[in-house]
A and B are shown apart, each in its own frame.
Chain A
């Protein structure tokens, strides 16, 4: 495994339910996202996209297989250690932004750092840095209801990647936005990945998936195809030969 791999799923299977009423949500999915890479997952509803994202973020555990974030196998971590890793290493971006309405933009972004025990002043400084990277630092003291959808989503991306967090998991992040604003959000996500973050983007829109370096197609819990880059295919051939 190369050192810049941020997220690795290795033969991950997730079965919901038990005994006779089981549903296989994911079946042997392997996937790698490196620093600087944005990977899109496309598939119809029920194909396992959300399960994949929940497993990648440690919100759910696989029935079999491994989920590894920055070298740490989530399956070997205690509940507390897993919660800590999620706080420090993983950021989520959702369709409906999920900002806390009673906190300003900068307070929202600083929150994960404060929850992790950082001092308020330092957390605020790092949150302002994060807001600057997504181009909304002038909105730092504004509350979510005084921001447009596109601005809220930029704040959510800043929160996802604040501090040392390098993995952003985005679930239909443009779903609630008009096409122009949605594109602006993808551009920010793309820029953050170009600057070294690793992104996993779930979407059913081809136009949005096309911003990714690689598009993975999921059907009935199985990866059926992907638009791997030619260099990557060559590297794969070298490994197996």
Chain B
């Protein structure tokens, strides 16, 4: 997601200066995606250039606050109601690693899978502990919406971890099936090892042989 949309959404509540925008963004996402203040000011400059925000003057300490323009409000409304774009597939190191592992000789794929699964479970254990604490805090006192936002972020990370483990389980099961099914030669190259050549007209006839 772009920092741009996030800042616009926050400015819809009230005018804010850069450092405060950054603090609000991090509080609501519990610092899961930290911003640096330079990034915030750079984004504000661009938003001002595009006519989506305008400066409302400096406070006593010289901090310039920004507020949304009409176009900015329309942009925020449009963002809430548009689906998040999933078209650009983010580069996922794990997926790339496994895709390479099954194609490169000499890699113990089962071990790659298990190492990752253990690490992801450990991560899930940490997240679950955080969630337990956040749930207790949410139920006992009223930190209200900030606690709720943190819980939602945590649960998203838990679902993502769970999905990763499920995918790893699936990879493992598929590799197991591949290893146990009768070996098929790529592109129908006949196997000329003595004793293993299929009998003529048998089910094992390759496409190439059938065409001849």
Measured CB to CB, the residues of A under 8 A from B are 42, 44, 187, 190, 204-207, 209-213, 215, 217, 224-227
Residue from A205, A207, A217 in contact with B117 in the complex, judged by beta carbons closer than 8 Å: A217
A210-B158 contact in complex given A215-B125, A217-B117, A224-B114, C-beta closer than 8 Å:
yes
What 10 pairs between A and B have smallest CB-CB spacing? A210-B124, A206-B165, A210-B128, A207-B162, A227-B122, A206-B162, A225-B118, A215-B121, A210-B125, A227-B121
Residue of B nearest to A186 (CB): B128
A211-B128 contact in complex given A44-B173, A206-B166, C-beta closer than 8 Å:
yes
Question: What's the least CB distance linking A225 to chain B, in Å?
Answer: 5
Q: Would you call B15 an interface residue if the criterion is a C-beta within 8 Å of the partner chain's C-beta atoms? A: no
Distance in angstroms between the alpha carbons of A16 and B166 in the assembled complex: 29
Q: Would you call B137 an interface residue if the criterion is a C-beta within 8 Å of the partner chain's C-beta atoms? A: no
A205-B118 contact in complex given A210-B128, A215-B125, C-beta closer than 8 Å:
no
In the assembled complex, 6 residue pairs joining A and B whose CB atoms fall closer than 8 Å, in A order, are: A44-B172, A187-B132, A224-B114, A225-B115, A225-B117, A227-B118
Q: Would you call B161 an interface residue if the criterion is a C-beta within 8 Å of the partner chain's C-beta atoms? A: yes
Chain B residues within 8 Å of A217, by CB: 114, 117-118
Chain B residues within 8 Å of A205, by CB: 162
Chain A residues within 8 Å of B128, by CB: 207, 210-211
Residue from B120, B132, B172, B173 in contact with A206 in the complex, judged by beta carbons closer than 8 Å: B120
Residue of A nearest to B173 (CB): A44
Residue of A nearest to B165 (CB): A206
Distance in angstroms between the alpha carbons of A213 and B122 in the assembled complex: 9
Distance in angstroms between the alpha carbons of A211 and B128 in the assembled complex: 6
Question: What's the least CB distance linking B97 to chain A, in Å?
Answer: 18
Chain A residues within 8 Å of B158, by CB: 207, 210
Q: Is the interface of B mostly helix, strand, loop or mixed?
A: helix
Which residue, of A204, A205, A207, A217, has the highest number of chain B Cβ atoms within 10 A?
A207
**Apart from the given pairs A206-B124, A212-B125, 15 other A-B contacts in the complex at a CB distance below 8 Å:** A42-B121, A44-B169, A44-B172, A44-B173, A206-B120, A206-B162, A206-B165, A207-B128, A207-B162, A215-B118, A215-B121, A217-B117, A217-B118, A225-B114, A225-B117
Which residue, of A44, A206, A217, A225, has the highest number of chain B Cβ atoms within 10 A?
A206
Distance in angstroms between the alpha carbons of A227 and B115 in the assembled complex: 10
A209-B169 contact in complex given A190-B132, A217-B114, C-beta closer than 8 Å:
no
Q: Would you call B19 an interface residue if the criterion is a C-beta within 8 Å of the partner chain's C-beta atoms? A: no
Residue of B nearest to A187 (CB): B132
Question: What's the least CB distance linking B100 to chain A, in Å?
Answer: 22
Query: Please, what's the 1-or-0 string for B126-148, where 1 marks a CB less than 8 Å from any CB in chain A?
Result: 01100010000000000000000
Chain A residues within 8 Å of B127, by CB: 210
Chain A residues within 8 Å of B115, by CB: 225
Question: What's the least CB distance linking B163 to chain A, in Å?
Answer: 9
Beta-carbon contact of B132 and A227 below 8 Å: no
Beta-carbon contact of A206 and B121 below 8 Å: yes
Question: What's the least CB distance linking A210 to chain B, in Å?
Answer: 4
A227-B125 contact in complex given A205-B162, A207-B158, C-beta closer than 8 Å:
yes
Residue of B nearest to A212 (CB): B125
Residue of B nearest to A224 (CB): B114
Distance in angstroms between the alpha carbons of A95 and B54 in the assembled complex: 59
Chain A residues within 8 Å of B121, by CB: 42, 206, 209-210, 215, 227
Chain B residues within 8 Å of A224, by CB: 114
Question: What's the least CB distance linking B121 to chain A, in Å?
Answer: 5
Distance in angstroms between the alpha carbons of A207 and B159 in the assembled complex: 8
Residue of B nearest to A209 (CB): B121
Chain A residues within 8 Å of B166, by CB: 206
Question: What's the least CB distance linking A64 to chain B, in Å?
Answer: 26
Residue of A nearest to B120 (CB): A206
Distance in angstroms between the alpha carbons of A44 and B170 in the assembled complex: 10
